[in-house]
A = this chain, B = another copy of it.
Amino acid sequence: MAVSERGPRERMVFSAAQLIRRDGVAATGMREVAAHARAPRGSLQHYFPGGKEQLVNEAVDWAGGYAGKRVARFLAALSEPTPSGLFAAMVRQWTDEFQEVGFASGCPVAAATVDCAESTESTRTAAAAAFARWNRPVAEALTDMGVPAERAEPLATVMISALEGALLIARAERDVRALTAVAHELGPFLDGARTASRGSTGSPRTPAAPEPGRGARSGSV
A136 within 8 A of B: no
A184 within 8 A of B: yes
With known contacts A105-B118, A114-B24, A114-B106, A165–B161 Cβ distance under 8 A: yes
Complex CA–CA separation, A169 to B163 (angstroms)? 12
Complex CA–CA separation, A186 to B199 (angstroms)? 10
A39 within 8 A of B: no
Interface of A is mostly: helix
In the bound complex, residues from chain B placing their C-beta under 8 Å from that of A204 are 199, 201
A164 within 8 A of B: yes
With known contacts A115-B27, A165-B163, A157–B173 Cβ distance under 8 A: no
Could you say which of B105, B109, B131, B165 contacts A162, with CB atoms under 8 Å apart? B165
Could you say which of B104, B115, B199 contacts A24, with CB atoms under 8 Å apart? B115
Complex CA–CA separation, A201 to B203 (angstroms)? 8
With known contacts A117-B106, A182-B157, A131–B169 Cβ distance under 8 A: yes
Among A104, A161, A192, max chain B CB count under 10 A is at A161
Q: How many copies of this chain does one complex carry? A: 2
In the bound complex, residues from chain B placing their C-beta under 8 Å from that of A110 are 110, 114, 168
A174 within 8 A of B: yes
Chain A interface bracket (under 10, 10 to 19, 20 to 34, 35 or more)? 35 or more
Among A27, A162, A165, A173, max chain B CB count under 10 A is at A165
Could you say which of B127, B172, B185, B200 contacts A127, with CB atoms under 8 Å apart? B172
In the bound complex, residues from chain B placing their C-beta under 8 Å from that of A166 are 157, 161, 165
Does the CB pair A158–B131 fall under 8 Å?
no
With known contacts A128-B173, A178-B157, A192-B200, A115–B26 Cβ distance under 8 A: yes
Does the CB pair A171–B117 fall under 8 Å?
yes
In the bound complex, residues from chain B placing their C-beta under 8 Å from that of A164 are 161, 164-165, 168-169
- Spell out A's residues near B (CB within 8 Å): 22-27, 103-106, 109-111, 113-115, 117-119, 124, 127-128, 130-131, 151, 153-155, 157-158, 160-169, 171-174, 177-178, 181-182, 184-186, 188-189, 192, 198-206, 208
